[in-house]
A and B are shown apart, each in its own frame.
Chain A
Amino acid sequence: MSVELFFQYIVAGITYGIIYAIVAIGFNIIYNTTGIINFAQGEFVMLGSMIAISLTPYMPLLLAIILAVIITMLIGALIEILFIRWLDSPSVLRMIIITIGLSILIREVALAIWGENVRALPYFTGNEVSSISFGGVHISPQVLWVIGVCTVMVLILQAFFKFTMVGRQMRACAANREAARLCGINAKNMVTLSFMLSAGIGAVAGCVVSPITYSQYNMGTGLAIKGFTVAILGGLGNSMAAVVAGLLLGTIESFSIWIMPTAYKDAISISILLLILFLRPGGLFGSKEEMTLKEF
């Protein structure tokens, strides 16, 4: 393998990996405040990009994306208020069934609205053939957009949880819900907020990646599996580890094309997921005890 090809694979790995990481962080945010795995997480990514695509004919790209993210966040809030909020300490199984049901529901609604057509947002800068060359490695500018936007988003998210009062409130609910209520924090609103945040970052990821991967009503399922694998790989609830795990999975997938047919690409993440669940259910970086200490 030539050095250029090697770096080409690395860049592709990072691009997909960071998207997986964002989906995984979406899982983590909701998991941390509620203990729920929201299997409709991938659908937020789909909704974000599909809504933005539908809006682009009527407004500038940036405005369409912002609006799409806001709409997706509102949908996230609505889902929480309609289907989750009124449940009084539901069982894990019931929550899994509810969120899987929600993902199917959202997908069917999307199919009814947008059909089966494959669509895409336009490239943010340049087009599909433009590329920037770094010493023989050709990178599409959109790849830089994906990596840049997602990195900034992760950093902002970290700062939000660490330095703002609302972020602290959400972490307090994750650490100890009852104690948070005793401080006067409305835990239910924090849960709604965590759904909005997860939906929002998923939508942003969906928009930046859409020009490269294209969007379709059912794109969420695959992303949810990859994101879930990454979340488990990094240790459920741990967002920084999710970034590392995401990049790892993305790179492994990217190099796998080199040694086996592309069709097996998706099988890799499922295999990793099963392996991790069998061998290290606390994740690569976590121990079982740390699982009980939830942190964003």
Chain B
Amino acid sequence: MLRLRNVEAGYGRLKVLHKVSIHVDPGEIVTIIGANGAGKTTLLKTIAGLLKPRSGEILFKKQPIAGCPAERIVFSGCALVPEGRQVFSTMTVRENLLLGAYVRYKRRQKSLVDRELERIYETFPRLKEREGQLAGTLSGGEQQMLAIARALMSGPELIMMDEPSMGLAPLVVKEIFKIISQLRDEGKTVLLVEQNAKAALSVADRGYVLETGRIVLQGPSEDLLENRDVQRAYLGRDLDSEIRL
């Protein structure tokens, strides 16, 4: 579905990604974990077309998309739920969702929009209750739901999420991860970026570890969960002190 080969990207003279190669197969949940500043957001922005890669190849459904503008990439079926939600705060929940369906409007599939809206409201009943409320007045968890719902309104085959659990209470995080695995059951492909490595790996099929712009580890989620380096760095297990005991 998605394949990156030796992608390099950055801002101005600062190079953030160094020869990143990853792939995501259809129907998978793949997670990328890494510390603050590792370049996770940069990687997703590059795939989504908000940032132009310096070099390397990005294939989506076998088509090269590297350097395509963001608005074109959404149309090809690859949506991004950006870091920090980025809902249209001055607009209502419903308007946010309708804008998410812009791709469908443009394709003159208006009847599909209404049906999709129904489906979204089934998945996120809270959004239906708050349909007429300004998105900026929603709670953090609700805003995250809205951001995910808005991306889904475009009917993407691949949905990328940038730290959907950031700043949310454990119960809400659980709800969001439930929705993510639900998406896979519906046949969607998910690329999930997380700092919450434990939660991400427990829901994902495979994972990559990104460190200072380089992929340093990859493999099935179970293997990564067992990996001592991953445990030390991202799962918060202090192995050294355990040995001393």
Closest chain-B Cβ to A159's Cβ sits at a distance in Å of: 14
Interface residues of B in 122-139 (CB under 8 A from A): 136
Residues 165-187 of A, flagged 1 when their CB comes within 8 A of B and 0 if not, give 10011011011101111111111
Contact call A184/B103, Cβ cutoff below 8 A: yes
Chain A interface category by residue count: 20 to 34
* Contact call A168/B71, Cβ cutoff below 8 A: no
Given A179-B82, A181-B70, A184-B75, are A293 and B90 also a contact pair (CB < 8 Å)? Answer: yes
Task: Judge whether B50 and A183 touch: CB under 8 Å.
Answer: no
* A172-B89 contact given A182-B80, A183-B74, A185-B71, CB 8 Å threshold: no
- Complex: how many Å from CA A63 to CA B150? 44
Expressed in whole angstroms, the Cα–Cα distance for A165 and B103 within the complex equals 12
One of B71, B87, B89, B154 near A181 (C-beta < 8 A): B71
A172 to B90, CA, bound (A): 8
Q: What B residues does A294 contact at CB under 8 A?
A: 90
- In the complex, are the beta carbons of B98 and A168 less than 8 A apart? yes
7 inter-chain pairs at a CB distance below 8 angstroms, sorted by A residue, are: A165-B105, A176-B88, A176-B89, A181-B71, A183-B74, A183-B103, A184-B74
List 10 other contacts, CB 8 Å, given A176-B89, A181-B69: A171-B88, A176-B87, A176-B88, A179-B88, A181-B71, A182-B82, A183-B100, A184-B71, A293-B136, A295-B90
Across the interface, do B86 and A179 meet the contact criterion of CB distance under 8 Å?
yes
Instruction: Report chain B residues within 8 Å CB of A168.
Output: 91, 95, 98-99
A178 vs B89: C-alpha distance when bound (angstroms): 13
- CA separation between A107 and B100, bound complex, in Å? 42
Residue of A nearest to B80 (CB): A182
B13 on interface, CB distance cutoff 8 Å: no
Q: Within 8 Å CB of B79, what residues of A?
A: 182
Q: Tell me how many residue pairs across A and B have CB atoms closer than 8 Å.
A: 72
Nearest-neighbor residue (CB-CB) of A294 within chain B: B90
The interface of chain B, by Cβ under 8 A from chain A, is 48, 50, 69-71, 74-75, 79-80, 82, 86-91, 95, 98-100, 102-103, 105-106, 136, 150-151, 154
Dominant SS among interface residues on chain A: helix
Chain A 178-206 residues near chain B, CB threshold 8 A:
178-187
Determine if B50 and A180 form an interchain contact, defined as CB atoms under 8 angstroms apart.
no
Q: Which residues of A contact B (CB under 8 A)?
A: 165, 168-169, 171-172, 174-176, 178-187, 293-295
B102 lies within 8 A of A185 (CB): yes
A175: shortest Cβ distance to chain B, in Å? 4
Task: Give, as a whole number of angstroms, the nearest-CB distance from B127 to chain A.
Answer: 16
CA A181 – CA B70 in complex, angstroms?
6
Closest 4 CB pairs between A and B?
A184-B74, A175-B88, A179-B86, A181-B70
A127 to B100, CA, bound (A): 52
Given known A181-B70, A183-B74, contact A293–B89 (CB-CB < 8 A): yes
Contact present for B86 and A165 (CB under 8 Å): no
A180 to B79, CA, bound (A): 12
- Least Cβ distance of B93 to chain A in Å? 13
What's the Cα separation between A165 and B88 when bound, in Å?
14
Q: Which residue of B lies closest to A171 (CB)?
A: B91
Asked if A185 and B99 sit within 8 Å, CB to CB, the answer is: yes
Distance to closest chain B CB from A186 (angstroms): 5
Which chain B residues lie closer than 8 Å to A171 at the CB level? 88, 90-91, 95
Query: Taking the nearest CB of chain B, how far is it from the CB of A272, in angstroms?
Result: 27
Distance in Å: Cβ of B134 to nearest Cβ of chain A: 9
> What chain B residues lie within 8 Å of A185 (beta carbons)?
71, 99, 102
Q: A165-B98, A168-B99 are in contact. Are A183 and B90 (CB under 8 A)?
A: no
Question: Contact at B150–A183, with CB atoms within 8 Å?
Answer: yes
Q: A185 vs B88: C-alpha distance in the bound complex, in angstroms?
A: 13
Q: A175-B89, A183-B150, A186-B71 are in contact. Are A169 and B102 (CB under 8 A)?
A: yes
Say yes or no: A183 contacts B99, CB within 8 Å: yes
Contact of B87 among A179, A184, A293, A295 (CB under 8 A): A179
* Nearest CB in chain B: distance from A258 CB, A: 41
